[in-house]
Amino acid sequence: MDVNQPSFDFDKEIDRTATDSDKWNKYKGKDILPMWVADSDFQSPPAVINALQDRIAHGVFGYTHASESLTDIFVSRMAERYNWHIQPEWVVYLPGLVCGLNIAARALTEQGQAIVSPSPIYPPFISSAKFAERPLVKAPVKLENGRWLPDLTHIDDQLTEQGGLLQMCNPLNPGGTVYRREELDATLAFAEKHNLLVCSDEIHCDLILDNDCQHIPFASLNDSAAQRSVTLMAPSKTFNIAGLGASIAIIPNADIRARFNRVKRGIVPGVNLLAFTAAEAAYQHGEDWLQAQLKYLASHRDYLMQEINALPGMKLEQIEATYLAWIDCSELPVENPFSFFEKAGVGLSPGLDFGNRKFVRLNFGCTRKTLEEALRRMKAAIATLDL
């Protein structure tokens, strides 16, 4: 496939400044490149744009629900991509994935039960324990043969007999690690030993950049994994439709599903009809676009790794998945790497938000031109240091 065919032109510069974009508005009017929040600067697949235009042309936007065809498409997708055979009734639609994390935190634990979370991690994991008023146990994410992984053995003796919830993020954000089967098996063994239910955030599962990595849903391991888990997925990162809000919880166990739905009742609104329209078009017709995007992102990743690792004081491990680079700046002689690069005109995510202030997270879901300019600015800033 030709990545450069006009409909899949990821190099196309699109001005997002007049669209109330969170990413671009943060630095509105300033010469700072926004490379923080996790949406990309790419136009969604043409099939998604066309489906939305058709739906809008209809002109009536009343209450709605998921079409049977969307659920069928999703069920088939799980079987085809992951050899995971789910039932339509296991599927619960949500207007976002973070609300799924919070519902799971409340529905799957009782007072006093702990929530175990990797650390550093995407911040809503941590806040979900706080909002649910549950004690948080942090599993430190460490480097193992160049891959970031939570160290569960480290917290073995911090857990009581009481059970609780284990949160997983696969692929891992930040870090980009794609769990291997034996790592998932070990995670399941840990959950069984400590009587933990599992909430597995797999929002980045379609964004695998390494051909020799394969996403394996935790719940697809075996019946024990399925019966203790809530899996969260979404088309939002994959097809860049995060602003529309459609996510999916897959909950095989009927009792857990009922508890989840009870917490959500009367509070969590339904998914809006444009989000359903976009999700269905993306899952049904977005595959060629997705493959082209993965090629584009993998080439960004390779370029970024080479450039960052050539800079003094900076280190970046292999990013197996996601368009988010977790950059180690601990050897850089600056107090606050986030502010240092922001002053140099590059708006990254502060590592502190995830749990380590000596890191920054760079979103490379942008054009090559933007990425090159960001690196030029970072290099120039580092050149001013006495290294």
Ligand X SMILES: Cc1ncc(COP(=O)(O)O)c(C=O)c1O
Nearest-angstrom CA–CA distance, 7 and 238: 17
Cβ proximity of 90 and 112 under 8 Å? no
Shortest spacing between CB 379 and ligand X, in angstroms = 27
293: which DSSP letter? H
Say how far residue 81 (Cα) sits from the centre of its chain: 18
First to last CA, the chain: 44
Instruction: Please say which residue, 125 or 340, places its beta carbon nearer to ligand X.
Output: 125
Q: How many CB atoms lie within 10 A of CB 322?
A: 29
Instruction: Please say which residue, 93 or 340, places its beta carbon nearer to ligand X.
Output: 93
Instruction: Please say which residue, 199 or 378, places its beta carbon nearer to ligand X.
Output: 199
Shortest spacing between CB 131 and ligand X, in angstroms = 14
Among the listed residues 248, 276, 240, 271, the one whose alpha carbon sits nearest the alpha carbon of residue 45 = 240
Residues that bind ligand X (CB under 6 A): 38, 96-98, 122, 169, 173, 201, 203, 234, 236, 242, 247
Instruction: Please say which residue, 175 or 286, places its beta carbon nearer to ligand X.
Output: 175
Shortest spacing between CB 239 and ligand X, in angstroms = 13
Instruction: Please say which residue, 70 or 382, places its beta carbon nearer to ligand X.
Output: 70
- 242: Cβ contacts below 8 Å, ≥ 6 apart: 38, 39, 236
Shortest spacing between CB 295 and ligand X, in angstroms = 22
Q: In which residue are the tokens 């997705």 written? A: 290
Nearest-angstrom CA–CA distance, 170 and 337: 27
